[in-house]
Chain A
Amino acid sequence: MTTEGAVDVEQSVGEGSRLRTVGGHAVLIVLSVVCVFPIYWLYATSLRAPGDVYSLSVLPWPLSLEHYADAFAKADILRMLINTTIVAVLTALGQLLVGLLAAYAFAGWKFRFQKLLYLMFVGTWLVPFQVTMMPNYVLLSRLDLLNTLAGVIVPTLCSALGVLMLRQHLLGFPKELLEAARMDGRSSWGILWTVVVPTLRPVLAALGILLAITAWNEYFWPALVLQRSNDVVQLGLRSFMGTEGNDWGPLMATAGLTCLPVFLLYMVLQRHIVNAFVRSGLK
């Protein structure tokens, strides 16, 4: 009797946990569909024949690349992609450099007002973009950098996220390695480039990709700076929006093309990015 009772309890416990697992998965599947569906719809619309743009069928059939051809004909997509790449790469590199130098100082040295400075530095993350937008705009205007790619890049060169993450990694960096390098004859500057940077390469790569993706996806700031041109691809999308209505087909095709490099980058390097973030949290 007792054994049977125990088995019953075990079975009900087993069924309970299985139900919870199934329930959890169901919720996650629904959330995934909600997240993925708009992107699917973007590509589906871009691949429909010109007459089917407003069709509500889930599968785009017959398939057509006409919207892509249309997009390339109406806008200089290649130039926009190159410009966006330049902006994303330079922004990411600049932010990495500033972040690395600041984090090295914050993690490796003790100096007066260190904590306060660090808090102020990281606190810039909490300041909304809308607050700094106008002063930056005025400054760019005075420096005559409006409507230039440099105007898009320069004000964003310092990333509090980069400083925060790199400092976190550097705090966990083996102190003995830095001391060994000091004993071996390197200056602080030398240690940064010959020991710290090579050792942190995976972290720098992951952070760099993240920063590049963020810069790539940026719309609002470039839209403000580049008012008279569509030099980057996010702004290029505007050329398919008109007062008479939106040209949805080429718009979706261009948006789809805009997403592709980011998707590819993330898929190839996903493991590194996740690892770097998990480790920065643990250390």
Chain B
Amino acid sequence: MSRIRLEGLTRRFGAVTAVDDVWLDVADGEFLVLLGPSGCGKSTLLRMIAGLLGPTGGRVLLDDTDITHTPPRERDLAMVFQSYALYPHLSVARNIGFPLRARRLRKDAIRTKVDEVAAVLDLTELLARKPKELSGGQRQRVALGRALVRDPGAFLMDEPLSNLDAKLRSSTRAEISGLHQRLGATVVYVTHDQVEAMTMATRIVLLDHGKLEQVGTPEEVYDRPASTFVAGFLGSPPMNLVPATAESRGTLRAHATDLDIDLGIPAEMPARPVILGVRPEHLRLTTPEDAALRGVVRTVENLGSEEVAHCLVGDARVCVRGPRPLGLRAGDPAHLTAAPETLHLFDPDSGRRLAWQPTPDPAAAEPEVPLGSPA
């Protein structure tokens, strides 16, 4: 398996910069997920790694070899496409064996290899079928098989689960994770689905408008989002982001209309505007006297095991998530609070995370802005 390095990779389409100066090091055996909304440049980045699209600037290195201008077929990378891209005129066996025939392997060697891969992916019974005779999940496995059969340096996967239904997606997710662990393969995986990213990745790369927003483990990006974009992208519902003012009143507090919360830091600093972030599951109901946030419940969503209450605190929309029953109904007053260690502060102008712990996080893509710096 191989290591992939991207050095200042950039791709422009006319005046639009789809991928903007991306530096990334994908370690050997890593499962790296490129995550972001539609149009953030994640597929463009993957296609540049694959060689299907030439970069406008920067380099792609596989191990220590510069492959920026190497044609895709010579890159030792296998790709699984969103639409599976199975050859409709070929049987499953011939689809899986296609890359080996392109490399002019002997027929018996191809057959052995195809049988091995088919056994791993439970496709042995389907080898004689054509793609149109397969279900979505089976097609997906054939596409995986075609990538696996080559023993490539790394696997590139472009939203391979997005055409599957929810149940199949969940089982295939587990299957791909299992394969990654068994093979110790390097995988670069593109998705817009945060559940896929959180459950499969060893590291997540969050992209927005072609730029890296944050690179980190699933825990890092979820627990310490580097920007309001990351905070607002991850989580369902995402993190509540409320404009507030941070001010010292003995300890540091954040306040806004119907909001006054202790940040738990005994610090002195001039008042400055901030964005206060708190995850819906970290808010809890409390008595009117202890409430840090006072609002009104607008709607309550039943998710089965949990409920999400959508409240209005001042002008800000705030979601609360907890086990069902949450004890709130539409129109009820909501008295909420949260522990200081679950609160996040962001700079309102740059959207970057404000450092309110003594040591800055070296994993963050950009250094955190010190809280005491002028707004």
Contacts and interface: CB of A to CB of B under 8 A. Distances in A.
Does A pair with B? yes
Interface in A141-193: 174, 176-177, 179-187, 190
Contacts of B73: 182-187
Nearest to B88: A199
B83 A183 contact: no
Interface residues of A, number: 18
18 contacts: A176-B82, A176-B83, A176-B85, A179-B72, A179-B85, A181-B98, A181-B102, A182-B71, A183-B50, A183-B52, A184-B98, A184-B99, A184-B146, A190-B102, A194-B98, A198-B87, A198-B89, A198-B90
B52 A199 contact: no
Interface in B77-126: 77-79, 81-83, 85, 87-90, 98-99, 102-103
B183 to A, nearest CB: 18
Contacts of B51: 182
Contacts of A186: 73, 102
Nearest to B76: A185
Given A174-B85, A198-B87, 13 more contacts: A176-B82, A179-B85, A180-B81, A180-B87, A182-B51, A182-B52, A183-B72, A183-B79, A184-B73, A184-B102, A184-B150, A185-B102, A194-B102
B324 to A, nearest CB: 43
Contacts, number: 58
A195 interface: yes
Interface of A: 174, 176-177, 179-187, 190, 194-195, 198-199, 201
Contact of A177 (B52, B79, B87): B87
Given A183-B52, A183-B73, A183-B77, A199 B85 contact: no
A185 B90 CA distance: 16
A180 B360 CA distance: 43
Interface in B115-173: 146, 150
B85 A180 contact: yes
Interface residues of B, number: 23
A190 B73 CA distance: 12
B134 to A, nearest CB: 16
Q: Is chain A's binding surface mostly helix, strand, loop or mixed?
A: helix
A179 B79 CA distance: 9
Q: Is chain B's binding surface mostly helix, strand, loop or mixed?
A: loop
Interface string B40-73: 0000000000111000000000000000000111
Nearest to B102: A185
Contacts of B99: 184-185
A180 B79 contact: yes
A180 B315 CA distance: 50
Contacts of A201: 89
Nearest to B147: A183
B318 to A, nearest CB: 43
Contacts of B90: 198
B225 to A, nearest CB: 33
Given A184-B73, A185-B73, A174 B52 contact: no
Nearest to B149: A184
Contacts of A194: 98, 102
A106 to B, nearest CB: 20
B72 A195 contact: no
Contacts of A182: 51-52, 71-73
Contact of A179 (B81, B88, B98, B150): B81
B78 A195 contact: no
Contacts of B146: 180, 184
B81 A176 contact: yes
A185 B79 contact: no
A186 B366 CA distance: 41
B145 to A, nearest CB: 12
A245 to B, nearest CB: 57
Closest 8 CB pairs of A and B: A185-B102, A180-B85, A184-B99, A176-B85, A198-B89, A185-B73, A183-B79, A182-B72
